[in-house]
A and B are shown apart, each in its own frame.
Chain A
Amino acid sequence: MAESAAVEFRIDRRSGVATYLQIVQQTKQALRLGVLEPGDRLPTAREVVEATAINPNTVLKAYRELEREGLVEARRGLGTFVRRTLGSAAVTTDPPLRAELSEWTRRARAAGLDRDDVSALFTDVLNSTFKGDQHS
Chain B
Amino acid sequence: MTGAAIEANGLGMTYGRKRGWALRDCSFRLPTGRICALVGPNGAGKSTLLSLAAGLLRPAEGSVRVLGSTPAEARPRIAYVSQDKPLYPQLTVADTLWAGAQLNPASWDRAAADRIAGVLPQDAKVRTLSGGQRTRLALALALGKRPELMLLDEPMADLDPLARHQLMGVLMAEAAEHGTTIVMSSHILTELEGACDYLLLVDGGRVRLGGESDDIVAAHSVLTGQARDLAPHTVVESRTTGRQLTALVRREGPVDDTAWDVKEPSLEELLLAHLRSPEAPALLTPSAHAREEVATA
Contacts and interface: CB of A to CB of B under 8 A. Distances in A.
Q: Is there any pair of Cβ atoms, one from A and one from B, under 8 angstroms apart in the complex? A: yes
Interface string A44-88: 111101111111111100000000000000000000000000000
23 contacts: A13-B193, A44-B176, A45-B176, A46-B173, A46-B176, A46-B177, A47-B173, A49-B175, A49-B176, A50-B169, A50-B172, A51-B169, A52-B169, A53-B168, A54-B172, A54-B194, A55-B195, A55-B196, A56-B35, A56-B175, A57-B197, A58-B197, A59-B176
Interface of B: 35, 165-166, 168-170, 172-173, 175-177, 193-197
A20 B173 CA distance: 17
A99 B176 CA distance: 45
Contacts of A108: none
Given A56-B175, A56-B176, A49 B169 contact: yes
Contacts, number: 47
A53 B175 contact: no
B170 A55 contact: no
A42 B123 CA distance: 40
Contacts of B195: 53-55
A19 B35 CA distance: 15
Chain A CB count within 10 A is highest, among B35, B166, B176, for B176
A44 to B, nearest CB: 8
A46 B172 CA distance: 7
Contacts of A50: 169-170, 172-173, 176
A46 B177 CA distance: 6
Interface of A: 11, 13, 19, 44-47, 49-59
A49 B197 contact: no
Contacts of B169: 49-53
Contacts of B197: 55, 57-58
Nearest to A48: B176
A44 B175 CA distance: 13
A53 B35 CA distance: 12
Contact of B194 (A46, A47, A51, A53): A53
Contacts of A55: 35, 172, 194-197
A3 to B, nearest CB: 19
Nearest to B170: A50
Contacts of B166: 53
A56 B172 contact: yes
A117 B197 CA distance: 39
Given A19-B194, A46-B176, A56-B175, 8 more contacts: A11-B194, A49-B173, A50-B170, A50-B172, A50-B173, A54-B172, A55-B194, A59-B176
A58 B34 CA distance: 11
A31 B209 CA distance: 40
B193 A53 contact: no
A17 B169 CA distance: 20
6 cross-chain pairs, A with B, having the tightest CB-CB distances, nearest first: A49-B172, A56-B176, A53-B168, A50-B173, A46-B176, A53-B169
Nearest to B214: A18
A52 B195 CA distance: 9
Chain B CB count within 10 A is highest, among A44, A57, A58, A59, for A57
Chain A CB count within 10 A is highest, among B173, B196, B197, for B173
Contacts of B177: 46
A19 B196 CA distance: 12
B188 to A, nearest CB: 13
A58 B196 CA distance: 9
Nearest to A47: B173
Nearest to B115: A50
B14 to A, nearest CB: 35
Contacts of A11: 194
Contacts of B196: 55
